[in-house]
Amino acid sequence: MTAPLGLIAGLGDLPVAIAENAVSTGQGVYVVRLKGFEDPRLAGYPGAVAGLGEVGGLLSKLKSAGCKDVVFAGIVSRPNFRDLKLDLRGAALLPKVLAEAGKGDDALLRLLVNEFEKNGFNVIGSHAAHKALLAPQGHIAGPAPGDGHLADIARAAHVVAALGTLDIGQGCVVCDELVLAVEAQEGTDAMLDRVATLPEAVRGTEAARRGVLLKRPKPAQERRIDLPTTGVSTVEKVAAAGLAGLALEAGGTLMLNRAEMEAAAERLGIFLYGFDPGLGL
Amino acid sequence: MTAPLGLIAGLGDLPVAIAENAVSTGQGVYVVRLKGFEDPRLAGYPGAVAGLGEVGGLLSKLKSAGCKDVVFAGIVSRPNFRDLKLDLRGAALLPKVLAEAGKGDDALLRLLVNEFEKNGFNVIGSHAAHKALLAPQGHIAGPAPGDGHLADIARAAHVVAALGTLDIGQGCVVCDELVLAVEAQEGTDAMLDRVATLPEAVRGTEAARRGVLLKRPKPAQERRIDLPTTGVSTVEKVAAAGLAGLALEAGGTLMLNRAEMEAAAERLGIFLYGFDPGLGL
């Protein structure tokens, strides 16, 4: 009997897709839903609920369930460290967590991965747990990007790589090679909302689409956690912001419900494009 | 008789302060208000109204008025090049403008400065036209920044310098060394508004202030145009966003109505701090 996949789950479609996939491949899954971020769609799977600070509890639950591979997936907002409930293991980790917290999200995540690995688990990425999620390379769906779009993609790829070395964000919007917006803690959706409010002179419209949203991981990113994730709503927001397309680092970003994303892109006239991971580095 | 200062003015308090200063020092001023951006407070000065594309008209008006020093000041939104009305001189410049437009605001501005210098004018910065505007170095007003604030300032100074080399923006918000927001085309006010909407776990509040807004020019910036400008409303927005203070590159950012800014900082409990121009480079 294979060991079930250990899934430490926050909110969103990603953990749901991973759980479904693990069951459909016959591996099975044990789901720890994080307290405050419990998705009801995951309630039917074998599993438990635990707080982010209950590190000891998390480890022992996964061990009892016989898990070896563990995946972190889903959206969890940055904890308020003053309000966090800690068990002994969590409390032992806290000074390190606080020391790393200021260095950005990536340092925090790496700390968690290390703790799980030290306890004998094999931490894998969402893309390793569910291989169909990774963006492929080249033109994916919608109209083919033109030379102007490819120039926007090249500039955006360079900008997001540079931002990533500062551990800032995983996305930006470029239109006619001008950087319209940069993503930090507000997330992609809020960034796209504000692009739609910029003066029309600098951006596209639904009638005359211009510009591109580009997503890629940070160069030094712990790729087993927190790869940039896109879905149907991303395609819809890109369309509403008047952009021409969505560019994703091939092999470095996740596409949730890819068939539906492609259908939305065709319907809305948005290109989906997987760019070479070496672009802009 | 000294030559009057030539002021090419957009919106906002900066051109008004420069015009007042030029009159009070006895130099006098000739104000070209840019079409679509005419401030009524400048209507009483000798001058004219001209469109951004009427470059020949701008040059001849300033020549007739006997100007030698010319300053560009105030807010002008990025033109929609398709709608721009051009005179002959403007039309001759347009291919260059379009070629540079995609490289960011800075390339565009440098082109304008070059055109004026080629025609015998001496283009000076707002800070040269009105020396009291430049931020001084060190603690300026409000409570003194603590070590945590200075660490936020150091991180933000590095981030904005790095962004500047990509010709992106002139500001960011950092809280406990985490980059909360990065400024691109939306401007400082919109960035501060969205900081106030982030989860309270990552930011300060009016009851427990944390984090800093930092403004500095781009490293390669044409410093005669478009130095970052702050005023009383900046201090008020910083306060409303729950931040602890405002950090400005000493000698590289402008403070409009400095006495009022300092009074607002004292009243709201916000620090104003001028950091060393070498910080974070």
Most confident of A99-113, B70-84, B264-278: B264-278
Mark yes or no for CB contact A179/B104 under 8 Å.
yes
With bands split at pLDDT 50, 70 and 90, how would you rate the model's confidence at A227? confident
CA distance B238 to A126: 39
Query: What ranges in A25-87 are assigned the alpha helix state H?
Result: 55-64
- For chain A, say whether B179 makes contact (Cβ under 8 Å): yes
pLDDT (0 to 100) of residue B53: 77
Q: Which of A97, A158, A166, A189 to mutate to test the interface with B (most CBs of B within 10 A)?
A: A166
Nearest CA among B56, B55, B81, B57 for reference residue B47:
B57
Mean pLDDT of chain B: 89
CA distance B30 to A257: 62
Residues of B in contact with A189 (CB under 8 A): none
Nearest to A202 among B162, B176, B185 (CB): B185
Between A50 and A149, the more confident residue is A149
pLDDT (0 to 100) of residue A55: 81
pLDDT (0 to 100) of residue A73: 87
Q: What is the mean pLDDT of residues A177-190?
A: 94
Closest Cα in chain A to B177:
A102
Mark yes or no for CB contact B179/A190 under 8 Å.
no
> What is the radius of gyration, based on Cα positions, of chain B?
19
pLDDT (0 to 100) of residue B87: 73
Residues of B in contact with A78 (CB under 8 A): 199, 201-202
Percent pLDDT > 90 in chain B is 65
Most confident of A83-87, A93-97, A110-114: A110-114
Between A97 and B249, the more confident residue is B249
Mark yes or no for CB contact A197/B177 under 8 Å.
no
Q: Which of B83, B178, B194 to mutate to test the interface with A (most CBs of A within 10 A)?
A: B178
0.90 exceeded by pTM = no
pLDDT reading at A88 higher than 80: no
CA distance A190 to A200: 18
Nearest to B178 among A104, A151, A163 (CB): A104
User: For residue range B108-143, what is the model confidence (pLDDT) as tens digits?
Assistant: 667 778 888 999 999 998 889 998 999 999 999 999
- Of A134-138, A224-228, B18-22, B156-160, minimum mean pLDDT range: A224-228
Give every CB contact of residue A256 below 8 A, 6+ residues apart in sequence.
Answer: A13, A14, A17, A133, A229, A230, A231, A232
Question: Beta strand pairing status for A5-9 and A29-34?
Answer: parallel
With bands split at pLDDT 50, 70 and 90, how would you rate the model's confidence at B106? low
User: For residue range B34-79, what is the model confidence (pLDDT) as tens digits?
Assistant: 888 899 999 999 999 988 778 888 899 999 999 999 998 887 766 6
Q: Name beta bridge partners: B213.
A: B173, B246
pLDDT reading at A15 higher than 90: yes
Burial of A18 (0-12, 13-18, 19+ CB in 10 A): buried
Mark yes or no for CB contact B179/A198 under 8 Å.
no
Nearest CA among B52, B35, B40 for reference residue B15:
B40
User: For residue range B206-232, what is the model confidence (pLDDT) as tens digits?
Assistant: 999 999 999 999 887 667 777 899 999
pLDDT reading at B168 higher than 70: yes
pLDDT (0 to 100) of residue B72: 87
For residue A32, what are its two tokens?
């720890």
Mark yes or no for CB contact B102/A177 under 8 Å.
yes
pLDDT (0 to 100) of residue B103: 55
Q: Has the ipTM of the complex gone over 0.90?
A: no
Q: What is the mean pLDDT of residues B179-189?
A: 94
pLDDT reading at B147 higher than 80: yes
pLDDT (0 to 100) of residue B270: 98
Nearest CA among B215, B228, B230, B250 for reference residue B139:
B250
Q: Which amino acid is at A116?
A: F
Nearest to B180 among A185, A198, A200 (CB): A185
With bands split at pLDDT 50, 70 and 90, how would you rate the model's confidence at B182? very high
pLDDT (0 to 100) of residue B124: 92
State the nearest Cα–Cα gap between A120 and chain B, in angstroms.
31
With bands split at pLDDT 50, 70 and 90, how would you rate the model's confidence at A100? low
Residues of B in contact with A102 (CB under 8 A): 151, 176-178
Mark yes or no for CB contact A201/B79 under 8 Å.
yes
Q: Which of B103, B182, B203 to mutate to test the interface with A (most CBs of A within 10 A)?
A: B182
Beta strands in chain A (DSSP E): 5-9, 29-34, 47-50, 69-73, 122-124, 138-141, 171-175, 178-182, 212-215, 229-230, 245-249, 254-255, 271-275
- Cβ–Cβ < 8 Å for B221, B102: no
The domains located in chain A, with CATH, are 5-129 (3.40.50.20), 134-275 (3.40.140.80)
Q: Report the 10 Å Cβ neighbour count for B88.
A: 11
pLDDT (0 to 100) of residue B52: 74
Chain A with chain B: Cβ pairs closer than 8 A: 102
- For chain A, say whether B278 makes contact (Cβ under 8 Å): no
Q: What is the mean pLDDT of residues B92-99?
A: 64
- Under DSSP, the state recorded for B237 is H
